[in-house]
Amino acid sequence: MNISPTDFASLLCSRLCHDLLSPVGALNNGLELLADEHDPEMRARCLELLNESAKASANKLKFFRLAFGAAGGFGETVDTREAQAAIEGLFGDNHRVNVGWMVDDPVLPKQAIKVLLNLALIAGDALIRGGQLDIGAEMNSGQVEIVVRADGARIVLDPELRSALAGGKDEVPITPRAAAAYLVHALVTQGGGTLQVSPPDAEILLFGANFRAG
C-alpha cells in the first residue's frame, strides 16, 4: 500500500493530536478548577494534578520529537541516552511497564533511532496490563539490528498495526493509530532490510529489524 507524503504527514499529525489531547485537556481542566477552588487542600491537589499533566505532556512531546520529528537537530546520529530517556519518560512514570535497555552504542543513525522508538511505542502500548519491555540494538558496519520484546499478563497487537508493519499488504486502511507501524515499515524498507513480528498466538510479542542505516 502506497501512501503519499502529504497523507502520511496528516496521519502523524492526527496521532500526535490524539495522544496529546488527554494530558493537555487535563491541564485545562485543572486550571479551571484551580481558579474556582479556595480550599487549601483542594488547591494543593489541583496543583499536583497540574504538575502530573504537564510532565506527561512534556514526556510525550520529547518522545514524539525523536520518534517522528527531526531528532537530534541536523546531525546524522542521535545520542542513545536521549532515546532511552524518552522511552523511560513515556512508560516509566505509570509504573506499569518496566523498561530494559540493552543498547551499548553511544550513538545511532537517525533512521535506527526512529525504528527503535516506534517499535518500543507499539510494543509498550500492546502491554494492556503492563509488563516488561526490553529494547536492544547493535550497529555493525552500517547495518543495524534492533530487537524489541514485550512480555506481560495480556498482550494485544491490533491486526491493523500488524498489517501496517507489513506495509499494508492485507489492504487494511492505514489510520492515525497505525502511523508509527507504517513508519517503521517504510524506514526498514528504505534500508533494504527485513522486519519480523512474532505470530499472533505467541506468548510474547517480539519485533526484529535488520537494515542499513546511516
Strand ranges in the chain using DSSP code E only, listed in sequence order: 77-79, 97-103, 107-109, 131-140, 143-152, 194-197, 205-212
How does pLDDT run across 25-70, given as a tens digit for each residue? 877 777 877 777 777 888 888 888 888 888 888 888 889 989 988 7
Instruction: Name, in order, each residue with C-beta under 8 angstroms of 153's C-beta and a sequence gap of 6 or more.
Output: 129, 130, 131
The residue extents of the domains of the chain are 5-212
- What's the mean pLDDT when you consider all of the chain? 87
Please give the pLDDT value at position 85: 94
How does pLDDT run across 88-113, given as a tens digit for each residue? 999 876 678 999 999 999 999 999 99
Please give the pLDDT value at position 20: 76
Distance CA 113, CA 109 (A): 6
Distance CA 107, CA 98 (A): 23
Please say if the pLDDT value at position 71 is more than 70: no
pLDDT tier, 21 (very low <50, low <70, confident <90, very high otherwise): confident
Q: Is 75 exposed, middle or buried (0-12, 13-18, 19+ CB in 10 A)?
A: exposed
Please say if the pLDDT value at position 16 is more than 70: yes
Mean of pLDDT values over 178-183? 91
pLDDT tier, 213 (very low <50, low <70, confident <90, very high otherwise): confident
Mean of pLDDT values over 6-10? 77
Mean of pLDDT values over 118-123? 96
Please give the pLDDT value at position 73: 55
What one-letter code names the amino acid at 150?
A
Residue 76 grid coordinates: 546524522
CATH code for the structural domain at 5-212:
3.30.565.10
How does pLDDT run across 144-180, given as a tens digit for each residue? 999 999 999 999 999 999 999 987 665 667 788 888 9
